[in-house]
């Protein structure tokens, strides 16, 4: 949620009024994230205040966006707590602002939990499983745009900028992931719409009498149709590791996986390939952060992410392969 494109109050107000969302009362640029321009906006309508997020998409196109926004609508209808895109009188969810595609969604209540406990991880695991089940009958399809094809295209771009040991690790892991993706077990993995970026800062919580209440998942703009187990791996690599060292945190991982499995049990293929997908998730985010660091874009309020975080996670996953049985098969 950086700010690449400056939007005036009048421009934002015109769009909000066209959507019949009320009179703009507050507007503030968002500093989190790195992909799109985002503003928190508040309106007043019929004496009540309403909070929204206005997003201008810097890379996604008018043609790509309906998948993400319709997916969010679909999930909301099925009881998954996600931001609901606002439609105009014709039912459209994508609009033009500053010659770029834009959308307005309601703002979730609560705040992100950057120091999660096992209870937070269990809540995320259960909701993710519900989301996967709810998305199975979503009719639109679009691949994970930051999946294996993108890795193969992007590795040659970043390799010249790496130290020899980093380059060797990146090439070796990419070869392993290509080999894994060609296997029959990989082809058998259950698939559907996944979030693909469900980090700690993309989930909201409120605390009720000391018990965390998950109030929603957001930022679906890396979503795509892919293996559910890859979504799980992305979560485990953020929610259930020590961010400083990349080391696996077993208690949090057990809470996450058991809560997920209580809603949607993992298949034999998913259990077998979870260690490989944990490596894949680490590779994906190490690579994308390297790409952002090597080919930066100018933006106000931008907070770039550290690529070395996921290099550490990948090295930990290689040095200490994940034992699925310790999280799923023992009390």
Q: Is residue 2 part of a domain?
A: no
* Token code pair at residue 277: 């997908």
- Is 4 inside a domain boundary? no
Domain that holds residue 148: 118-328
Q: Are residues 219 and 311 in the same domain?
A: yes
Does residue 3 fall inside a structural domain? no
* Residue 228 sits in the same domain as residue 312: yes
Give the list of residues 6+ apart from residue 46 with CB closer than 8 angstroms, or none: 22
Q: What is the DSSP string of 20-69?
A: T--EEEEEEE--S-SSSEEEEEEEEETTEEEEEEEEE-SSS-TTTHHHHH
> Among the three residues 76, 106, 136, which one is the final residue of a domain in this structure?
106
Distance in angstroms (rounded) separating the CA atoms of residues 144 and 157: 20
Beta strands, E only, 163-243: 191-194, 203-208, 211-217, 224-227
On whether both 102 and 149 belong to a single domain, the answer is no
For residues 206 and 111, what is the distance between their CA atoms, to the nearest angstrom?
7
* Same-domain status, 258 and 159: yes
- Domain-located, residue 111: no
Using CA atoms, how far residue 207 sits from 11, 204, 212, 215, 238, in Å, is: 36, 10, 4, 10, 21
For residues 275 and 136, membership in a common domain is answered with yes
Instruction: Give which of 149, 117, 155 is closest to 286, Cα–Cα.
Output: 155
95 and 130 inside one domain: no
Both structure tokens of 222? 């890396």
141 and 189 part of one domain: yes
In a domain, 112, yes or no: no
- DSSP assigned state of 124: H
Same domain, 316 and 176: yes
Query: Where does residue 88 rank: exposed (0-12), middle (13-18), buried (19+ CB within 10 A)?
Result: middle
Q: How far apart are CA 200 and CA 123, in angstroms?
A: 12
Phi, psi (degrees; rounded to nearest 5) at 258:
-70, -40
Domain co-membership, 194 together with 269: yes
In a domain, 255, yes or no: yes
Helices 228-239, 268-294: inter-axial angle, 10-degree rounding? 60
- pTM score, whole prediction: 0.92
Give the domain-ending residue among 106, 133, 155: 106
Q: How many domains does the chain have?
A: 2
**CATH (domain of 128):** 3.90.1200.10
**Mind listing the pLDDT tens digit of every residue in the chain (331 residues)?**
466 899 999 999 999 999 999 999 999 998 765 678 999 999 999 999 999 999 999 989 999 999 999 999 999 999 999 999 999 999 999 999 999 999 999 999 999 999 999 999 999 999 999 999 999 999 999 999 999 999 999 999 999 999 999 999 999 999 999 999 999 999 999 999 999 999 999 999 998 777 899 999 999 999 999 999 999 999 999 999 999 999 999 999 999 999 999 999 999 999 999 999 999 999 999 999 999 998 876 544 445 688 999 999 999 999 999 988 877 764 4
Which CATH number belongs to the domain containing residue 90 in this structure? 3.30.200.20
Considering the domain architecture, whether residues 86 and 129 belong to the same structural domain is answered as no
Domain assignment of residue 1, yes or no: no
Q: What is the CA radius of gyration of the chain?
A: 20
Closest of 48, 95, 32 to residue 40, by C-alpha: 32
CB 96 within 8 A of CB 233: no
Based on the fold, state whether residues 102 and 246 are members of the same structural domain: no
Q: Are residues 140 and 190 in the same domain?
A: yes
Last residue of a domain, one of 56, 84, 106: 106
């Amino acid at each position: 949620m950086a700010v690449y494109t400056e939007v005036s109050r009048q421009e934002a107000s015109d769009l909000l009024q066209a959507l019949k969302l009320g009179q703009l009362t507050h507007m503030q640029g968002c500093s989190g994230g790195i992909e799109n321009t985002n503003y928190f906006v508040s309106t007043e309508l019929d004496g009540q205040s309403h909070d929204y997020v206005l997003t201008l998409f810097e890379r996604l196109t008018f043609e790509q966006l309906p998948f993400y926004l319709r997916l969010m609508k679909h999930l909301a209808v099925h009881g998954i707590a996600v931001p609901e895109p606002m439609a105009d009188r014709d039912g459209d969810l994508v609009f033009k602002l500053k010659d770029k595609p834009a959308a307005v969604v309601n703002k979730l209540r609560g705040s992100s939990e950057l120091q999660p406990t096992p209870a937070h991880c269990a809540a995320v695991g259960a909701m993710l499983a519900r989301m996967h089940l709810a998305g199975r009958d979503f009719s639109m399809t679009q691949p994970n745009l930051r999946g294996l094809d993108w890795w193969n295209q992007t590795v040659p771009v970043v390799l010249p900028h790496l130290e020899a040991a980093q380059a060797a690790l990146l090439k070796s892991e990419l070869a392993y992931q290509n080999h894994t993706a060609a296997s029959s077990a990989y082809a058998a993995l259950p698939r559907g719409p996944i979030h693909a970026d469900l980090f700690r800062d993309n989930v909201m919580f409120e605390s009720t009498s000391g018990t965390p209440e998950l109030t929603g998942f957001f930022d679906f703009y890396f979503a795509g149709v892919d293996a559910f187990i890859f979504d799980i791996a992305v979560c485990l690599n953020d929610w259930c590791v020590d961010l400083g060292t990349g080391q696996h945190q077993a208690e949090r991982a057990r809470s996450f996986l058991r809560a997920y499995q209580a809603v949607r049990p993992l298949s034999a293929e998913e259990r077998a390939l979870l260690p490989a997908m944990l490596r894949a998730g680490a590779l994906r985010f190490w690579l994308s952060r390297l790409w952002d660091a090597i080919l930066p874009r100018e933006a106000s309020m931008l907070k770039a992410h550290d690529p070395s975080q996921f290099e550490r996670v990948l090295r930990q996953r290689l040095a200490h392969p994940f034992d699925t049985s310790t999280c799923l098969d023992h009390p």
